[in-house]
Structure 1
Amino acid sequence: MSENRNRITIAILALGGQGGGVLADWIQEVGRQEGWLAQGTSIAGVAQRTGSTVYYVELARPDASGRLPVMAQMPMPGDVDIVLASELMETGRALLRGFSTAERTTLIGSTHRIYAIGEKMAMGDGRGNGDKIIAAAHERSRRFIGFDMEAATDRSGSVISSIMFGALAGSGALPFPTETFRSVIEKSGIAVTSNFRGFAEGFDAAQKPVAKPVEIAHAVPVATTEKGRELEARVRAELPAAAQENALHGVARLMDYQSGDYAALYIDRLVSLARMDAQPFDLTAEAARHVALWMSYEDTVRVADLKTRAARVERVRDEVKAQDDQVLSVTEFMHPRMQEICEMLPAGLARKLLRSGVAKAFFARFFNTGRHVETTSLRWFLMLRMVARMQALRPRSLRYLEEQERIEGWLSLVHEAVGNGDRALALELVRCQRLIKGYGDTFERGLRNYSAIIALHTSRRQTAAEVRNLRDLALSDETCNALDKAIAAAG
């Protein structure tokens, strides 16, 4: 136990803005109030989930002879008594770096996730396996205390640093009384009331079994307009029960994306497929999800709309814990390319601009690099809202015409497979929509892979297993090398 040691080492892994430095200072102050020597250092990481900051705190009992100990500057594998991690992948990083050991370490980590840029940009499901990390945390620690610290933060209206501080006190891993921890918060004089609430949440959670985050189910949307109720009635009357929930989500998504008429086109496409389907109607149910996703492709208009919604601003305010009287400023990096700007224009005009050397020179001069944009400023907000208002012109745009042509071609192949009695192949073709995602380079890479698979299938009919294998290769390797080799091998 740490109580019998003259030296205690503590590693804190936290993301920017989570108060890891404040937590490290609090822990040092607790040690000093109890008569221990304390030292803290930090190793800065890279911003936004490509790395985290590691804070290292070392506590030592004073030597009776008055000699001062030589303390380390950073945590060493196998020599850490306590690890605190603000997020599940940070717990995983601590395990990979050997900070937590089964015979020594008390590991305190949040079970919630903040997805890394690499996870979001993956062609397929790039999320790390949280269950494996939790299992490893139990195996590679003397004691693992895990719970959803983000949910605790929301309940307490506090910050995650106070949650971790409370969990540390509740763990009993430090030989100091709870009142010393509380006095440190009080003496700081900063957000004392809310930090006390967070401390109490963390302290109580440390006494309970390890808890995973609660999965939030997405309720079936309820129509609130006459057009919405009309489309909901069509879904329930014309589509099999197995597909209705996905279809209702799809209708709501497409009405928000474009219009009721566009959502009606979506239902028409599903009804056409459902007439060829049979029990258990898994093909129609799967298509209900993927058709909606493709029809709501991300273009410049959609991005501008989402970035300027009031709900997004409120979400950001909530994430950074902004007070009602605080002014929030959001700065984002934008790098629109000529192709993306032209695609939202009427098709005829867009094609002329894309062929024009003068237009290309203009774009190369004024849009050759990205820029940081304060989207909460009046100037940029109005500019983005103007782009978002081009939603009404979307059906005439070049991108719209191109996407509808691709969707119809894709669905015709699905219909053909069903007509030939190969529902397994039809299902794999429907799932090829997973390759179409995002915008910019991510979209182009996915479209390139999709087109390559479809071209091979068109030239020499593939089996369901062959299509699935090619799709899995495309989703597993963003360099496209594995897919290219497989297609080359297939001739």
Structure 2
Amino acid sequence: MNSTQPIKIAILAMGGEGGGVLADWIVDLGEHSGYLAQTTSVPGVAQRTGATIYYVELFPKQQAESDGGTPVLALMPLPGDVDVVLASELMEAGRAVQRGLVTRDRTTLITSTHRVYSIAEKSAMGDGRVDSTQLLAHANGAARRFVRFDMAQAAEEAGSVISAVLFGALAGTGVLPFNRAQFEATVERGGVGVKPSLKAFGAAFDRAQSGAEIPDAQTATPAAAPPRPQHPAVRALVERVQQQFPASAHLLLLEGVRRLIDYQDPAYAGTYLERMGKVCALPAHDGGRLVDATARHLALWMSYEDTARVAALKTRASRFERVRDEVRMQAGQVLAINEYMHPRLQEICETLPASIGRWLMGSSGPRRLVERFTKKGRVIQTSSLHGFLMLRCVAGMKRWRRSTLRFMQENQLIEQWLERIAQTASFNPALAVEIAECQRLVKGYSDTHERGQRNYEMLMAAVERAGAQLAPATLRELRDAALADEHGNKLRAALAQHALV
């Protein structure tokens, strides 16, 4: 580094990850080592829509005195003028590269490879996740040196926070003119969580020095052992998959069976295998693409999210454990989990037996009475005995699921979808695969499910009109348009463009 220029460090961190603590550590490290230091921060719009950028500049005090004045340090990082970038999450590293803060001739980039998905990624109708492999490749090509590993996991193992891991990785790179003892003394001066912080620091220091630049994604994972269930009905289903279906489809089919047993019961998973048996018998000859696509999406559709499913997921022991881990709950602390519930009339009717549900939907007085009581939502505390038992009762209604109006409606749509796949596979297997993929539109519950189903039905009507003349690429384009806009505007425009309205 040029001795006449400050050392320039940018930190990109989300709320609660200790970015401010990390910046303060670097300032304290510099000041106790004979440097002038300055730090500033610019918060993002929200904890995940924009991370806070902390900026630190360090300048040798001796150099400043020999120059006869006090240097003027910058308040914000400039593109192409940053020595070190520390990012608490992979997307934030990508944002730093996008902003021009990372340059090939100068910048050491240190980042965690774990992902915390943005609101845009989570709310996308399709798979809106940014490809982590592309992010890693892009960052690797932009930086002079790129140090990365799963720092969130390292912090978890040490019982500390990610800021301590980033500090250790920074020390391990040797990019700053300070030794390990000086870094550790800085942590000790903080006086809070010193022991776990030093443990996390040490692990990150060693990993950065030993070649942490190798991406975690390249680490091979051993193949999972075949399941050996004890329950006779479940064991029979596993044996059925292994004996009656091609080996290439076993992984997806077994996951589908597991999901549907959890969702309903072994008999329901048996129905799944009956349907998949018919798909496997289709004359596709496409290397298993149709079987794989249908196996995945049929399992998802058959485990649609009704009120019983949502209640079951909200009251699982694993969910309470996950929340406790996420908030780092300590002994003696009390955790309260509040759920906002606002069931619509339609969802209530769909939970009832089919005949009663249809009657209520078509009634006048009874319908208005139910709507009056469901006009406002309510908050239910699932961490309390009363709230927990209330949702467990709703979850227990799954035993009557096969008689409900929602089951009848979903089952009819599934059968129509499978019939369309079978008919199309006889003359265009590639188009049949695209039809199977159209299930991606039908997801979620409440308004999200309603809009997705509306787009799906609009798309299937276009498939029906086009018939054998529809190209697989065209259907894929139409599906992508539907996934890009849940309100259907882009789909309508694409249908009009292809004269399929």
Please report the TM-score for the alignment, with normalisation by the length of structure 2.
Answer: 0.89
Structure 1 residue 221, shift from structure 2 partner? 4.3
**What is the alpha-carbon distance in structure 2 between the residues aligned to residue 386 and residue 71 of structure 1?**
63
Q: Would you say the 8 A contact 1:290–1:430 is kept in 2?
A: yes
Matched, 1:203 2:205: yes
1:411 maps to which of 409, 418, 424 = 418
**What is the alpha-carbon distance in structure 2 between the residues aligned to residue 369 and residue 28 of structure 1?**
51
Structure 1 residue 295, shift from structure 2 partner? 0.4
Secondary structure, counterpart of 2:168 in structure 1: helix
Q: Which stretch of the first structure deviates more once superposed, 245-254 or 363-372?
A: 363-372
Amino acid at match of 2:302: M
Q: Which stretch of the first structure deviates more once superposed, 475-484 or 147-156?
A: 475-484
Amino acid at match of 1:43: V
Secondary structure, counterpart of 2:216 in structure 1: coil
Aligned to 1:64: 65
Matches within 5 A, 1:217-232: 219=224, 221-232=227-238
Secondary structure, counterpart of 1:185 in structure 2: helix
Aligned to 1:480: 488
Q: Would you say the 8 A contact 1:121–1:442 is kept in 2?
A: no
Secondary structure, counterpart of 2:56 in structure 1: strand
Structure 1 residue 411, shift from structure 2 partner? 0.6
Aligned to 1:490: 500
Amino acid at match of 2:7: I
Q: Deviations over 1:167-225 (max 9, x none)?
A: 11112222222112111222223222211111012212222152323476784544231
Aligned to 2:447: 441
2:350 maps to which of 340, 343, 356 = 343
Identity %: 50
Gapped regions of structure 2 (runs ≥ 5): none
Secondary structure, counterpart of 1:138 in structure 2: helix
Structure 1 residue 312, shift from structure 2 partner? 1.9
**What is the alpha-carbon distance in structure 2 between the residues aligned to residue 78 and residue 368 of structure 1?**
55
**What is the alpha-carbon distance in structure 2 between the residues aligned to residue 261 and residue 318 of structure 1?**
35
CA distance 1:58–1:364, shift in 2 (3 Å)? farther
Q: Which stretch of the first structure deviates more once superposed, 466-475 or 24-33?
A: 466-475
Structure 1 residue 103, shift from structure 2 partner? 3.0
Aligned to 1:422: 428
CA distance 1:230–1:138, shift in 2 (3 Å)? closer
Structure 1 residue 255, shift from structure 2 partner? 0.3
Aligned to 2:134: 132
Q: Deviations over 1:20-64 (max 9, x none)?
A: 122122122112221323333322224452221222223333332
Number of residue pairs the alignment of both structures matches: 489
2:393 maps to which of 377, 386, 393 = 386
Secondary structure, counterpart of 1:128 in structure 2: coil
CA distance 1:144–1:236, shift in 2 (3 Å)? closer
Aligned to 1:79: 81
Amino acid at match of 1:270: M
1:253 maps to which of 259, 268, 272 = 259
Aligned to 1:185: 187
CA distance 1:182–1:329, shift in 2 (3 Å)? farther
CA RMSD of aligned residues (A): 2.7
CA distance 1:299–1:365, shift in 2 (3 Å)? same
Aligned to 1:116: 118
Structure 1 residue 229, shift from structure 2 partner? 0.8
Q: Which stretch of the first structure deviates more once superposed, 120-129 or 259-268?
A: 120-129
CA distance 1:372–1:78, shift in 2 (3 Å)? farther
Q: Which stretch of the first structure deviates more once superposed, 42-51 or 451-460?
A: 42-51
Matched, 1:469 2:468: no
**What is the alpha-carbon distance in structure 1 between the residues aligned to residue 55 and residue 152 of structure 2?**
22
Q: Deviations over 1:64-92 (max 9, x none)?
A: 28855444433333332221101110001
CA distance 1:218–1:293, shift in 2 (3 Å)? farther
Q: Which stretch of the first structure deviates more once superposed, 89-98 or 216-225?
A: 216-225
Q: Which stretch of the first structure deviates more once superposed, 472-481 or 358-367?
A: 358-367
Q: Would you say the 8 A contact 2:455–2:486 is kept in 1?
A: no
Q: Would you say the 8 A contact 1:277–1:284 is kept in 2?
A: no
Q: Deviations over 1:114-171 (max 9, x none)?
A: 2112112212221113233223323333322222212322333322111101011112
Structure 1 residue 331, shift from structure 2 partner? 4.5
**What is the alpha-carbon distance in structure 1 between the residues aligned to residue 178 and residue 46 of structure 2?**
34
CA distance 1:20–1:271, shift in 2 (3 Å)? same
1:284 maps to which of 285, 288, 291 = 291
Q: Deviations over 1:275-314 (max 9, x none)?
A: 3346544423332222111101122221221122111222
Q: Which stretch of the first structure deviates more once superposed, 16-25 or 467-476?
A: 467-476
**What is the alpha-carbon distance in structure 2 between the residues aligned to residue 238 and residue 22 of structure 1?**
58
CA distance 1:168–1:426, shift in 2 (3 Å)? same
Q: Which stretch of the first structure deviates more once superposed, 128-137 or 373-382?
A: 373-382
1:460 maps to which of 452, 456, 466 = 466
Gapped regions of structure 1 (runs ≥ 5): none
Matched, 1:300 2:299: no
Matches within 5 A, 1:154-165: 154-165=156-167
Amino acid at match of 2:129: R
Secondary structure, counterpart of 1:109 in structure 2: strand
Q: Deviations over 1:297-344 (max 9, x none)?
A: 122221221122111222233334334554434445554433334322
CA distance 1:241–1:176, shift in 2 (3 Å)? closer
Q: Which stretch of the first structure deviates more once superposed, 396-405 or 344-353?
A: 344-353
Secondary structure, counterpart of 2:445 in structure 1: coil
CA distance 1:321–1:398, shift in 2 (3 Å)? same
Q: Which stretch of the first structure deviates more once superposed, 407-416 or 383-392?
A: 383-392
Secondary structure, counterpart of 1:144 in structure 2: strand
Matched, 1:312 2:319: yes
CA distance 1:143–1:455, shift in 2 (3 Å)? same
